[in-house]
Amino acid sequence: MHLGHDRILIKPSGKSFRYLNSSDLVSVDMTGKVVKGFGEPSIETPVHLAVYETRRDVNVVLHTHPLNVITFSLLKSPLELLEVERNAGVVPFVK
């Protein structure tokens, strides 16, 4: 599915990723207004939109909370990200 540069798909609030289907996703414009789908977009929508607005070269924002990353943050241990093609650097912690 191609949405163009003026729309994004995002998870609706209150919907678990575990039970999410592609038909559950909400399409919003770059102001966060729902243009297709049901439910309120995720509370994280403004963060995602800010990334797209700031970085025109970004095509996907994937925001997750994997257990291993949460564990590193609780231990206040630096987490170095590596990509196949390059070193992505150290991830800072946000209080």
How many Cβ atoms sit within 10 Å of the Cβ of residue 41?
A: 23
- Highest average pLDDT, of 4-18, 20-34, 50-64, 76-90, comes from 20-34
What is the C-alpha separation between 50 and 66, in angstroms, rounded? 22
Which residue ranges make up each domain of the chain? 1-63, 65-95
Is 80 one of the catalytic residues?
no
Q: What digits encode the pLDDT tens for the residues 3-42?
A: 777 899 999 998 888 888 989 999 999 999 999 999 999 9
Q: What is the DSSP letter of 12?
A: B
